Amino acid sequence: MVKNTEINLSTLAKDLKRATSDAVVIGVGQGPDGPVLLGNPLTAKSAEALTESLKALGITGAADQAIRLPGLPETGAGVLVLAGVGKVAVGQQLSEEALRRAAGSAVRQLAGLPTVVLAFPTAGVADVAAVAEGAALGAYAFTEHRSSSDGLKDPVRNAVIYTDVPASDELSAALKRAGLIGQAVNATRSLVNQPPSHLFPESFAEAAKDLAKGLPVKVTVWDEKRLEKEGFGGIMGVGKGSSRQPRLVKVEYAPAKATRKIALVGKGITFDTGGISLKPALGMGDMKSDMAGAAVVLNTVLAIARLGLPVKATAWLCIAENMPGGGASRPADVLTMFGGKTVEVLNTDAEGRLVMADGIVAASREYPDAIIDVATLTGAQLIALGNRTAGVMGSDSVTGPLKAAADRAGELVWPMPLPEELRPTIDSQVADLANIGERHGGMMTAAVFLREFVGKGKDGEQIPWAHIDIAGPSFNNGTPYGYTHKQATGCTVRTLVAYVEDVLAAV
């Protein structure tokens, strides 16, 4: 089902002509006095002439600007591309994220050219890795449902990074990691971009198996009969209104030398009509993306397996289709969740927390060191943090490192509180809990609900836990920017991999 796009990444240290490329990309920044040509491999004469022409050519150095010029003989390429990196300060190096975005933007806009040389200034291995990762994220397209390739451009297939950083095992490992991260993010994007006619609970479970082939992971699938028998009332309650019955998928990577144990729980609503509490028709098509959290945790575990990290990582994909069929849950129904707690369903469009609750209880029973759940959970997230910033809530011991990992990965995450006054708002008159509470602060109220299902560890204390709400940043309805394409973004995969790496480094 998932036809992934991948890019070949390599480095070049000397003669540009050895790359036999279609285009060479160099950077231009927005300086305080106008555009600034960044460090590049051009001759001094060519660089000087180009610098004098920047303003006349309308080149500003703004982020996402990519101006194509005829190639210079010294580059060996037919096209010279001047790529904007945004604001720059005199004597200050570009941040890794600025490099990542500039490279991703250039590669995204150069679709149709097979081989591109990226000649941004790189001071060390981390800078090269950022350029490589940006290229891997920019080289993406989702075209599998097109009947014709007319008018479509293939993504860049080869990115050569021009750098003075000497070849080493560390550099090779960095390029490999960048390619694997790009593969994981792009696979996430392709799952989220699938139309609901093609991606539904059963086919999502099969896609998870396909993506895991050849990797040292174990995939276990609960069908509707097993879910009913074992008491997964949240997943069944949400999914029973659809003719396409729900699934729970467990993807487990358990290397012999694991030093930590992490559980990831993902919301997998393959389409969300709102159920009986029907959503407005306007924008409902975007609800094919309501399974982004499950796609994220799946591909995070697969990336961890490919990287061979010494951690036991388990993804729980809580998959259902929320439809208003004859068997659908009604407002005022009471569901008995996995583990025995009861929930009064006051709004069937607050369904994500119901499937996630079952997954969190299941994950808790394996006593992981931490549980992180990822979900397109609330519209309130967009109101609070906008379209590009995810909210993270939960235990300080997890949310703090997650924020640090997101900063390192170049993703936007912001910690939010869980005020205690929100807990009484999800009290029910007839059950243990209600699935909605106070309207204001709805993102945090949803997290407070999920916290009720986090189990205790072997020490008797609640397992460290964090909830990441990606309702806004998981799907881009605006114009492409940086390495981010339209529709699915694949956000949070990079943060979660970086978090695991940081946790392991601290052991």
Q: Catalytic residues, which ones?
A: 279, 353
Spell out the SS3 assignment of 286-327. Answer: HHHHHHHHHHHHHHHHHHHHHHCCCEEEEEEEEEEEECCCCC
Distance CA 316, CA 267 (A): 9
Q: Helices 292-307 and 169-193: crossing angle, nearest 10°? A: 160
Separation between Cα atoms, residue 250 and residue 243, nearest integer Å: 22
Taking a C-beta distance cutoff of 8 angstroms, is the pair 289, 475 a contact? Answer: yes
Q: What does the alpha-carbon distance between residue 273 and residue 295 come to, in Å, rounded to a whole number?
A: 19
Residues 6+ apart with CB under 8 A from 148: none
Q: Which residues contact 322 (CB under 8 A, 6 or more apart)?
A: 238, 239, 241, 242, 269, 271, 272, 273, 274, 275, 290, 348, 349, 351
Q: How far is CA 245 from the centre of its chain?
A: 26
Token pair belonging to 142: 């989702």
Q: What is d(CA 149, CA 112) in angstroms, rounded to the nearest whole number?
A: 12
> 477, 470 in Cβ contact below 8 A?
no
What's the rounded Cα separation, in Å, for the pair 471 and 223? Answer: 27
